[in-house]
């Protein structure tokens, strides 16, 4: 068994180790603020999507689950990075690294699928408004979300196997702030190119297949919008779809640069890792709330109820 020949029992996350103490302190304050903002905003969306009766539609049902995925994603990587910015010991166990990579795979894949289903939801809502509630019923939405999670869980197991199929007996220093798959695979004693090529093929299926559904959905939405005579109707529809398209561009661009390079064994640069681990989850609720009047109104109502409850308790 090749795994019995493994000599690496832990990994060292280099991350921002070479930065000066003052730079690490500044990064800690910055990332803590971004993490707190992302958790607060996504938590607020989860709360109002589940409690506000005015947001009882499939779009907000999906949005609540997207925010939950974002909370899972940033919690998998950012707290560990914050700890390593203030302590000298950057060692993580082999099991912890495997667990972190599986969660990143699982949540990332589930979000890819969910974004495609959200595009399909917008297509049905705009192109078939009279049949929207029948086509996108509650059970259908639950099944779509369940499909996204199931695909993420199953695909995560496959990617985890491909990442750790070979023993690890080389350098255990990971040049990033979390266990990034291409970097970890490059440390194995076997042939890293084979595993990277398999992950590349998997990325084509996981990223490009949902992307095809998104492109088709928005192409038909665009055709439907252009056929309408009312300019006000066009503007409202464009505004509704712009937030989702912005999120898709953010997420898919960073994911493609990170995992769709079959020859890469050094992994993406830290800026790309930061983009999809903290910047995108933080921007998602901001983009949706600023470009959606119903969401802004629900947030104001939720914050108003909280302030009123605090005043009554005093």
CATH code where residue 183 lies: 1.20.1070.10
Q: Is residue 197 part of a domain?
A: yes
Q: Is residue 209 part of a domain?
A: yes
Contact 287, 305 (CB under 8 A): no
Contact 102, 162 (CB under 8 A): no
pTM of the model: 0.84
Contact 27, 85 (CB under 8 A): yes
pLDDT, residue 1, reads 43
User: CA torsion angle for 56, 61, 67, 69 (degrees, to 10)?
Assistant: 160
Contact 244, 285 (CB under 8 A): no
pLDDT tens by residue, 139-169 = 999 999 999 999 999 999 999 998 888 888 7
Q: Is residue 1 part of a domain?
A: no
pLDDT, residue 2, reads 44
H/E element, 12: strand 10-13
CA distance 75 to 281: 11
Q: Indicate the range of 192-196, 244-248, 305-309 predicted with least confidence.
A: 305-309
Q: Is residue 2 part of a domain?
A: no
CA distance 8 to 56: 51
Tokens of 257: 């640069």
- 137 DSSP β-pair partners: none
Q: Is residue 312 part of a domain?
A: no
Contact 258, 268 (CB under 8 A): yes
The pLDDT-based confidence of 3 (bands split at 50, 70, 90) is: very low
φ, ψ of residue 310 in degrees (nearest 5): -65, -40
Q: How many domains does the chain have?
A: 1
Tokens of 60: 């907000």
H/E element, 104: helix 94-127
CA distance 121 to 190: 44
- 13 DSSP β-pair partners: 174
CA distance 301 to 314: 20
Q: Is residue 83 part of a domain?
A: yes
Tracing tokens 């990143």 back to the chain, one arrives at 104
Query: Which is nearest to 244 in space by CA: 220, 225, 217?
Result: 217
pLDDT tens by residue, 204-232 = 888 888 888 998 998 888 888 777 656 65
Q: Is residue 314 part of a domain?
A: no
Helices of type H across 136-279: 138-163, 181-186, 192-203, 209-226, 231-259, 270-274
pLDDT, residue 208, reads 86
Q: Is residue 161 part of a domain?
A: yes
Average pLDDT, the chain: 82
The pLDDT-based confidence of 189 (bands split at 50, 70, 90) is: confident
pLDDT tens by residue, 50-86 = 887 777 888 889 989 999 999 999 999 899 999 988 8
Tracing tokens 């979390």 back to the chain, one arrives at 178
CA distance 23 to 29: 10
- Parent domain of 46: 10-306
């Amino acid at each position: 068994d090749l795994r019995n020949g493994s000599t690496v029992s832990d990994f060292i996350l280099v991350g921002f180790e070479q930065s000066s103490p003052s730079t690490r302190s500044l990064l800690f304050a910055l990332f803590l603020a971004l993490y707190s903002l992302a958790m607060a905003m996504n938590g607020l969306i989860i709360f109002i999507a589940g409690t506000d009766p005015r947001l009882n539609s499939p779009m907000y049902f999906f949005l609540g689950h997207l925010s939950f995925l974002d909370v899972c994603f940033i919690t998998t990587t950012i707290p560990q990075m914050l700890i390593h910015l203030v302590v000298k010991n950057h060692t993580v166990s082999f099991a912890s690294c495997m667990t972190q990579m599986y969660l990143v795979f699982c949540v990332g894949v589930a979000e890819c699928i969910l974004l495609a289903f959200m595009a399909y939801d917008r297509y049905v809502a705009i192109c078939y408004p009279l049949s929207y509630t029948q086509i996108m019923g509650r059970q259908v939405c639950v099944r779509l979300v369940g499909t996204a999670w199931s695909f993420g869980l199953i695909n995560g197991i496959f990617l985890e196997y491909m990442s750790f199929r070979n023993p690890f007996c080389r350098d255990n220093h990971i040049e990033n702030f979390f266990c990034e798959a291409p970097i970890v695979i490059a440390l194995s004693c076997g042939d890293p190119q084979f595993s990277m090529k398999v992950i590349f093929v998997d990325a084509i299926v996981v990223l490009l297949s949902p992307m095809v559904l998104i492109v088709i959905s928005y192409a038909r939405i665009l055709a439907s919008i252009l056929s309408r005579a009312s300019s006000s109707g066009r503007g409202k529809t464009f505004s509704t779809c712009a937030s989702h398209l912005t999120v898709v561009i953010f997420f898919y661009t960073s994911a493609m640069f990170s995992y769709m390079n079959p020859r890469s064994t050094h992994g993406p640069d830290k800026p790309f890792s930061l983009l999809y681990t903290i910047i995108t989850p933080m921007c998602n609720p901001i983009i949706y709330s600023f470009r959606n009047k119903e969401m802004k109104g629900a947030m104001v109502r939720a914050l108003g109820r909280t302030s009123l409850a605090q005043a009554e308790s005093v």
